[in-house]
Amino acid sequence: EAAVTQSPRSKVAVTGGKVTLSCHQTNNHDYMYWYRQDTGHGLRLIHYSYVADSTEKGDIPDGYKASRPSQENFSLILELASLSQTAVYFCASSDGTGGAGDQDTQYFGPGTRLLVL
Amino acid sequence: AQSVTQPDARVTVSEGASLQLRCKYSSSVTPYLFWYVQYPRQGLQLLLKYYSGDPVVQGVNGFEAEFSKSNSSFHLRKASVHWSDSAVYFCAVRGGGYKVVFGSGTRLLVSP
């Protein structure tokens, strides 16, 4: 069974503070993703990575940095947290991006609820 | 570029009734299509996916979806819903690249 874990599960941060969200996968997957979920917007891609030590910008990267120090770990960093970054953040992993097998399936973590005050 | 529209933000059905959740997609290439489900305070889980071939694909827990190229749709169906099906359902599309685009979701409430 594929497994993606996230920490913390919830966090309250102050405006202007630094926040780090962590993600760990035991799937041996190459691809990892960070999404944010806001009511009425579904999931929006912030950053992704397809190999360790490399990250790519998604659709809404402003205000976020990402770090992939190993295949298993992928972090999302908010250097200066803002009120608008209050959301639920999901990490996901996948084996690849193509093919008719399981490569395309994204496995999601349980999410981190971030409240910025 | 790809996009997904789920026109119904909320759907309420009675337990035992049939269900259809609507999804319209836009893609410049042949799309890969997905339905994911999110139970309360959990991450998304894959229900089913379509790549090619038979336009009706079967998923877990009795769900199925039908791909229609002419209508640019990928509607999700279930013959008889159970209270445990109450959740948020997301339609998603992937074109030729890496990115999967998710719809805004449909919240399903199954009433007793």
Closest B-chain CA to A41: B104
Summarised one tens digit per residue, pLDDT across range B13-29 is: 999 999 999 999 998 88
DSSP chain A: ---EEEE-SEEEE-TT--EEEEEEE-S--SEEEEEEEETTTEEEEEEEEEETTEEEE-S--TT-EEE-SSSSEEEEEESS--GGG-EEEEEEEES-S-SSSSTT--EE---EEEEE-
Give the count of Cβ contacts less than 8 A between chain A and B.
Answer: 53
Predicted confidence at residue A101, as pLDDT, reads 57
Predicted confidence at residue A39, as pLDDT, reads 78
Instruction: Give the mean model confidence (pLDDT) for residues A4-15.
Output: 96
Q: What average pLDDT does the structure give for chain A?
A: 91
Among B26, B2, B106, smallest CA distance to A39 is for: B106
CB B9 to CB A92 under 8 A? no
**Chain A residues close to B104, C-beta within 8 Å:** 40-42
Half-sphere CA count of B36, side-chain side, radius 13 A = 23
Among B24, B16, B43, smallest CA distance to B91 is for: B24
CB B42 to CB A110 under 8 A? yes
Q: What average pLDDT does the structure give for chain B?
A: 92
**Chain B residues close to A90, C-beta within 8 Å:** 43-44
CB A90 to CB B44 under 8 A? yes
Cross-chain CB nearest to A100 (options B6, B42, B51): B51
CB B41 to CB A43 under 8 A? no
Q: Are B46 and A106 in contact (CB under 8 A)?
A: yes
Taking the C-alpha atoms of residue B72 and residue B59, their distance in angstroms, rounded to an integer, is 20
Instruction: Give the mean model confidence (pLDDT) for residues A35-58.
Output: 91
pLDDT at A40 over 80: no
CB A111 to CB B103 under 8 A? no
